[in-house]
Amino acid sequence: MNLTATLLIQSVVFLGFVWFCAKFIWPPLLSAMRERQAAIASGLAAADEADKRLAQAKSGAEAELARAKEEAAVIIEQARQRASQMVETAKNDARDEGERLKEAARSEIQQEMNRAREALRGQVANLAVRGAEKVLGETVDAGKHAQILNRLAAEL
């Protein structure tokens, strides 16, 4: 065999090999690469979508947290105002009760003073009658002199 025939046979075999590879090996390789490319692209798209959802969830959570903090601040302020109002109400009630007790005590003291005055007037009237009996030397009729004793008690 000469060199030309060898080169020709090798060229035919090489072309057969290229045809065989193009027909049977290359299409599965291309489809596998395309599938892998599609899988990677869908994975990247899913990762991007997940990042977007994560960012939305974070912003939603931050907004919800801010809203909850505002609500908590409002509730705390309302509780403080209610507590202050309750303290003021309790102070006013205690002040009113103290005034009522003072007034009741004053009234009771006044009544006791009036009773004591009346008792003293009666005793003074009796002492005056006894003193008059002693001075006059005779018994003074209490029924007869009731008007005099009442006037004397009123003057005292």
Tens digits of residue pLDDT in 64-97? 999 999 999 999 999 999 999 999 999 999 999 9
Q: Tell the residue number behind the tokens 């027909």, with chain if given.
A: 23
Q: What is the pLDDT of residues 23-44, one digit of tens each?
A: 999 999 999 999 999 999 999 9
Residue 138 lies in a domain: yes
| Token representation of residue 126 | 């009796």
CA 87 to each of CA 65, 79, 99, 151: distance values in angstroms, whole numbers, following the listed order: 32, 12, 18, 56
Does residue 21 lie in a domain region? Answer: no
Distances (CA, A) of 151 to 122, 146, 156: 12, 9, 9
- Indicate the number of domains in the chain: 1
Range of the domain at 64: 44-155
- Flag whether 80 is in a domain: yes
User: What pTM did the predictor assign?
Assistant: 0.45
Does some domain include residue 135? Answer: yes
Q: What tokens were used for 8?
A: 């020709």
With a CB cutoff of 8 Å and minimum separation 6, the contacts of 120 are 156
Is residue 36 situated within a structural domain? no
How far apart, in Å, do the first and last CA atoms of the chain sit?
171
- 109-127 per-position pLDDT tens digit: 999 999 988 888 777 777 7
CA dihedral 79, 81, 86, 89 (to 10 degrees): -170
